[in-house]
Amino acid sequence: MAKLNKTNSGLLFKDDFTEKTLMWTLSPSDANNVFFGDSGLQMKHNKRYVTYTIVEPSVDEYSCIVKIDHIPANYDDIAGVLVMSTVKDYAECQTFLATGPSELVNSEQVNLDIENMIKDVIADNVVTYSIDADNAIDNNTQAPTSSAHIHGASVDTDAPFVDKIYRYIKFTKNKYKYMFWASEDGNEWIEVGNVKFDNSGVIGFFIYGTEDKEILDNSHCFFKSFVLYNSKYITFEGIDRKYEVEIFDENGNIIMRTDDTKYMYNINRSNKQILFNSTSTSLPIKNGILRVFPKNNYKQTISQFNLGEEVYGGDSFTLERDIRLFIDKTELKPTELYDLGTFYRGSYFVKIDVHNNEDYILHDVTLKVLKYSEYYGGEEEIALALHSEGKSESELVYSKQVIIPEIKPSESKSVFMKLMDKPSQGLFDTGNAYRFKILIE
């Protein structure tokens, strides 16, 4: 019997901003307009331009998606997502523009042509909005007097400030190129533009300054979530071309079907591999299901597999032999994190039972410890050893991988995992917790 195993997690980092962590940098450092809580990161409109950033991952390709709840108090209440290479080279993707999608502002493009373009856009006066007592946006016939700022360039106008709020901003990096998208609902995406930077830097959020008040009382700008994942592709291995597949989410919405031409430009099949380009997909896919069915027979189900609570770009799944891991008789789900609890200085041992759920003998089953992502440390202090009769866990020989020579059908073999914490390790400098992967081959 085959099992769909999650062989790689694309998730690099995720933050919902319920509390402050040391991984982010506030600039200016003494800014007093940033707050954390259940509603996310709130950045209130104040007198200064403020950024909240994190070092971007040092990989050639990754994607970032941000969920935003922003109701501008006035035209100057501009906020959005920031990519910064250096002080002079940076790009902003803001949550609104007067007549179109989020505007991508490149510091190298501030010139007379852009200023004229902005004046033309503002002069259209398509819709005007005001904020009522319940923070709802209503049409208004009076346009506020304000000024639009783009990296020091100023355009004075008596124009309205918004006709659409884009609550999702996404960008992908491919080597030196950054592509930006905006969406009102996380499902339909509008391509905003792209920039190129020679070197990596920081990514995060920005909010513009105002000359009016220290902090606007009715400022409503919340960054609800920030997610980094390492690829736009979701990969499936081991599915023969004589079968078709579909993915649907917890609400029954079809995300992808290999036999439907609607998705043909997002799917690449070769041998037993399926690559699904998730750029235009709402991520994460929550409680996704992969269904396998025969060609030309959509109604028949061959197999159906749970993809886990959340699926991101970079996730890889393989249809392969059925091997299951247990800790204290609790099965480890390949689609979820397992919490080992809290431990302190010294060594800590965990027994892992490796179970053969196939009806044949498995030979040379390999377990390896891998890094989760650069935002989380800990894997360098994890080691594995085969259980040996007559020896305690502290007497075993540990290494980064172990090979179990043979596991019979319905049999389990034990492996010990050793976690070591050293005072000089700086455990809480990055991810505030150990996090690592165990690969089975």
Whether residue 310 is found in the same domain as residue 333: no
Whole-number Å distance between alpha carbons of 33 and 441: 50
Contact 259, 244 (CB under 8 A): yes
Work out the pLDDT band at 336, boundaries 50, 70, 90. confident
pLDDT at residue 24, as a whole number: 94
Residue 6 lies inside a defined structural domain of this protein: no
pLDDT of amino acid 201: 86
Contact 285, 249 (CB under 8 A): yes
* pLDDT band at residue 139 using 50, 70 and 90 as cut-offs: very low
Q: Which of 273, 302, 320 is the last residue of a domain?
A: 320
Q: Which of 176-180, 223-227, 337-341, 429-433 has the largest mean confidence?
A: 223-227
In whole angstroms, how far apart are CA 262 and each of 184, 190, 191, 257, 269? 22, 18, 19, 8, 15
Q: Is the pLDDT of residue 136 over 60?
A: no
User: Using 50, 70 and 90 to split pLDDT, how confident is the model at 421?
Assistant: low
In the prediction, which pLDDT does 236 show? Answer: 95
Please state the rounded mean pLDDT for residues 342-365: 82
Cα 196 to the center of its chain, rounded Å: 21
Residue 53 belongs to a domain = yes
- In tens, the pLDDT along 308-333 reads 999 999 999 988 778 888 988 898 88
Is residue 144 domain-shared with residue 195, that is, in the same domain?
A: yes
pLDDT at 73 over 70: yes
For tokens 């392969």, the residue is 320
Do 174 and 281 reside in the same domain of the chain? no
Same domain (yes/no): 361, 432 = yes
Same domain assignment for residues 238 and 223 = no
Helix, strand, or coil (residue 261): helix
State the Cα–Cα distance between residues 270 and 238, nearest whole angstrom: 11
**Is residue 5 assigned to a domain?**
no
Residue 154 confidence (pLDDT) above 50: no
Residues 201-234 have pLDDT tens digits of 899 999 988 766 666 667 788 999 999 998 889 9
Mean local confidence (pLDDT), 415-421: 82
Q: What is the pLDDT of residues 245-268, one digit of tens each?
A: 999 999 999 999 999 999 999 999
Average pLDDT over every residue of 60-73: 90
Range of the domain at 109: 14-229
Establish if 2 belongs to a structural domain. no
Q: List the CATH number of the domain containing 175.
A: 2.60.120.200
3 part of a folded domain: no
Q: Given a cut of 60, is residue 5 above it in pLDDT? A: yes
Percent of the chain with pLDDT over 70: 77
Within this chain, do residues 187 and 73 fall inside the same structural domain, yes or no?
yes
Average pLDDT over residues 404-421: 88
Q: What is the CA angle 141-143-148, rounded to 5?
A: 155
Quick check: 307 pLDDT over 90? yes
- Domain stop point among 203, 229, 255: 229
More confident residue, 321 or 18: 18
Residue 262 three-state SS = helix
Mean pLDDT of the 408-417 span? 91
Higher pLDDT, 218 or 298: 298
> Which of 146-150, 157-161, 188-192, 307-311 has the lowest average pLDDT?
146-150
Mean pLDDT, the chain, rounded, equals: 78
- Among the residue ranges 21-25, 151-155, 429-433, the one predicted with the least confidence is 151-155
In a domain, 246, yes or no: yes
pLDDT at 267: 95
Q: Higher model confidence: residue 9 or residue 380? A: 9
Tell whether 126 is covered by a domain. Answer: yes
Q: Which CATH number covers residue 258?
A: 2.60.40
Q: Do 39 and 89 belong together in one domain? A: yes
* Count of other CB atoms within 10 angstroms of residue 288: 23
pTM attached to this predicted model: 0.67
Same domain for 75 and 197, yes or no, is yes
> What pLDDT does residue 45 have?
83
Same domain flag for 271 and 199: no
Check whether residue 84 and residue 112 sit in a common domain. yes
pLDDT band at 372 (very low <50, low <70, confident <90, very high): confident
Query: Which of these ranges, 99-113, 122-136, 150-164, has the smallest mean pLDDT?
Result: 122-136
Residue 332 shares a structural domain with residue 411: yes
Residues 177 and 277 in one domain: no
β-pair partners for 275: 235, 268
Number of domains in the chain: 3
E strands, 254-381, where? 254-257, 267-270, 273-277, 285-286, 289-294, 303-306, 310-311, 316-320, 323-327, 330-331, 346-356, 362-371
Classify residue 135 by burial, with Cβ atoms within 10 Å: 0-12, 13-18, 19+.
exposed
Q: Return the amino acid letter for 254.
A: I
The answer to the question of residue 1 being in a domain is no
Domain end call among 210, 229, 248? 229
